[in-house]
Amino acid sequence: MNLHEYQGKDVFRAGGIPVPPGEVARTVEEAETFAARLGFPVVIKAQVLIGGRGKAGGVKVVKNGQEFTREAGRILGMDIRGHAVRKILITPAMEIEKEFYAGIVLDRKYETPLLMVSPAGGVDIEDVARQTPEKILRLHLDGRGLPVYRARAAARFLDPRPKVQKQLANVISRLADIYYSQDCSLAEINPLVVTPSGEVWALDAKVVIDDNALDRHADLADMRDLGAEDPGEVEARERGLSYVRLDGSIGCVVNGAGLAMATMDLIQFHGGKPANFLDIGGSSNPDKVTAAMNILTRDQRVRAVLFNIFGGITRCDDVARGLLAALDRIGTKLPIVIRLTGTNEKEARELLSARGMTALSDMDEAVRSVIARAAEAA
């Protein structure tokens, strides 16, 4: 689960990392009160769950009230790569002497978190890694977390001044503690700045929490911003489905993530475009099929639906029942192509044929068929 910047800053603040004050506004009026309280200049920052908002014009330093009202209104109306800006963060503009980077990610290969720090902050760290890899120091965390002496080594890599190093080491130690204690899969400060007076502040926060660990972090789970997510993805999660919206016109219902990925690949391979990734999981619950059909039939872009089911633990007849129940309830006119193989395939075919529907058994054939049906319907 991705946190907004302001939420990530709350997590940082609670964990002892110095973060400048800031308030979140949903309207221009609200924002104006906050700005007046903080005093100019201030920074207005769009709160969206996607990167690259700075380049898109979603971050702006303003010096007076008139400019503020105009810019706050503009940013609140923005759409950044499909993400509507519904909230803005108002925070004081700081004088910056140096910008650093500090981040922790999971190193899958070494099966342990990896701390990366760089004196080249404020830019995309992937660019730094490509162009000037010597400007990144990498230190693995282990069962001890990050020992303080290693945090000090990281701080020395960033700045030669002992007074600044001490603050940086503190921030880095705290960041490692937060990464572990809050079950993060990413905890990143970019930029981590030093002011001309030698103070260290975290000016941004990018925090991703491991979805599988949300059960033990009720406070973080409550931060989920349903309004900022795709409604289909929200509904799917509530129903225990795994759904990702894509750009195409062919809706997919598949059991299993690997097969669902292979199905969307196959649709593209044969010249079609999938509208989504959708994994109904390994269970045989007909309600999940109904929920899946609900999501797909509401999606205006969908021209045809493909069911691709390999029955193992999932029983084909249960999926067929779920589909028929969904059709009774929703009554869609969308063309539906069904591919069923495996456990209780025969029973499933009988159920479907009683309603005048047939199921294919070959995946390639089913994909070609649904592409043709979608083209006819378009």
Measure the CA–CA gap between 66 and 183, rounded to whole angstroms. 42
Note whether 258 binds another protein by CB under 8 A.
yes
Q: Crossing angle for the helix pair 65-76 and 28-38, nearest 10 degrees? A: 140
| 180: annotated active-site residue | no
Residue 202, by phi and psi: left (phi above 0), alpha (psi -120 to 50) or beta?
A: beta
Note whether 310 binds another protein by CB under 8 A.
yes
The set of residues, in sequence order, having a beta carbon less than 8 Å from that of 31 and lying 6+ positions away, is 25, 44, 68, 72, 76, 88, 90
Note whether 231 binds another protein by CB under 8 A.
no
| 347: annotated active-site residue | no
Please identify, using beta-carbon distances, which residue of 86 and 217 lies nearer to another protein.
217
Nearest Cα to Cα of residue 136 among 181, 102, 86, 89: 102
DSSP conformational letter for 305: E
Question: What residues pair up with 308 in beta bridges, in sequence order?
Answer: 254, 339
Residue showing tokens 């309004």: 227
Binding mask 174-203 for another protein (x = CB under 8 A): ------x--x-x------------------
CB of residue 106 to another protein, shortest distance in Å: 6
Site for another protein (CB under 8 A): which residue of 79, 265, 328, 376? Answer: 265
Site for another protein (CB under 8 A): which residue of 98, 123, 235, 277? Answer: 277
Please identify, using beta-carbon distances, which residue of 227 and 282 lies nearer to another protein.
282
CA 138 vs CA 165, 174, 311: distances in Å = 17, 17, 45
Measure the CA–CA gap between 302 and 374, rounded to whole angstroms. 8
Note whether 284 binds another protein by CB under 8 A.
no
Site for another protein (CB under 8 A): which residue of 39, 143, 162, 331? Answer: 143
CB of residue 215 to another protein, shortest distance in Å: 6
Q: Rule CB under 8 A: which residues touch another protein?
A: 106, 108-109, 111-113, 126, 142-143, 180, 183, 185, 210-213, 215-216, 242, 244, 246, 254-262, 264-269, 274, 277, 279, 282, 310-314, 341-343, 362-364
